[in-house]
Chains A and B, each alone.
Chain A
Amino acid sequence: MPATDAQQQEIELARRLVAGEPGAFERFVELFRNKLFQYSLLVCGHHEDAEEVAQDALFKVFEKLDQLREPERIRPWVFRIARNACLMKRRKSVFAPERELSLEELMPQAGEDGGQWKLEIADWSSLPEDQALRAELQRVVREAIQALPEIYKTVLLLRDIEGLSTAETAEVLGVSEEVVKTRLHRARLAVRQKLDSYLRSSRGNSSRGKAN
């Protein structure tokens, strides 16, 4: 996956930061503080904890900045720090037990139509044009991601939201690339399943019909 403009800009910002260029510090703090907060919020689940963890992580980032040899690796480097800060701070009791998602439970139901099998899923074909629906779906996506077991959440955040590569994500989380791929697929399937039930519910598809 090629780096997006946003990713390129973040790397450029890291270069400017370590070169001591004026303005880079303010911009970096603003941008990466929010990233650290979003990561912590997904892992911790509580706003206050996330603020605290994100702040600890931000301090660590600047404490260790002299060790960042390659600014182009800023993103995995920062998330590695975020992950460690979350591990340090987390209160075990607030976490639901880790649960593995099985492929079986994420598979769509199959039905029959005129002797041919078909999937019992929503009509996804009209999504891109419908702006109001897309906004609503953003909310469903957010809730679906929040509801994922932590090991899936973090992979989805790093890969799909932050756009880290499989190798970078594996490095941040200290797992193999195969594990990243497996977890990412299941995380996406679980989000897909939630979106699908939303689309099939009365608010989603009833007024649209399948014929358009």
Chain B
Amino acid sequence: MKISINCIDASDGKISGIIKVFVSSLVHFIFFVCLSQTSLASELDYGLVAEPVAKGTYAFIGSTKYFSKNNGGNIVNTAYIVTDEGVIVIDTGPSYRYGKQMREYIEASTALPIIKVFITHHHPDHFLGNKAFADVPITTLAGVVDGIKRQGDAFTDNLYVLIGDWMKETEVYIPTEVISPGKISIGGHEIEIIALDGHTHSDMVILDHTTGMLFTGDLVFHDRTPALANANIEHWLSSLSRLQTLNYTYLIPGHGPITNNEHPMKQTSDYLSWLRTTLEQALTNGLTMPEALEMELPQSFRDLDILQEEYKRAVLQLYPRMEQHYFDK
């Protein structure tokens, strides 16, 4: 008590000093808030910088976190290939703003026009930038078009909630061209379109035989926990076995750093196999969903970013389906 009286009593000067500091920092704070509000409204910047991967091939490598107002949904890898005829873009990012900034960056780096956009699958972080490429053929598998038509609007609504202002003017823009699996030649590049599934019902993989680049879409996650919202684990695992038979020099995963080896494929399949076994065991041992949610996760997956978060999401997405199946047996 003595101490607290001293503090109050002896601090006439101190109090006014504190008030002064408080008032001036308040003024600064208000100024700062106004300032940042204005800049928020006008110029949210993804700060995209492309990483050169091989001759004429560049990738924009996003964060390995989840969607947030901090990252504006830049949690994804997109890429482009500069061919003799023009530029091929692979995936357009999570928002119109991202697509626009990506396009500005590409157009500042080459005089060649953008002649083709490929979309790997129907998840929002991979196609919501489409509108920025509305004058270019946007090409994908028929299944991806179906997926966008079915879930595109719901995904867009969710992203408006998750990343807010970054989504301004973003709307679903459906790809304009359907492609069948096989080889095509664009600007001197021999490009193979491979139709797989498992991460979603329709996942497109692009192999550039000319440079040896493998664009896996979200069939491969690297140092980032796979997302299972629309997944079929069996199919995903067999797609990964198929990918492991391909010849490539560099692998550009849907999320996480680029590599020249199959480590991220193994990482993804190890996690998926573990997840399947673990949830099946939980179910046959009579565990409830909250009990499955609270389970301890193995140390061996500590390299996977946001492991806890994505694991929980996977349980919430997969367990109800598995339970229904188990009780229907």
Q: Say whether A associates with B.
A: no
| Chain B residues within CB distance 8 Å of chain A | none
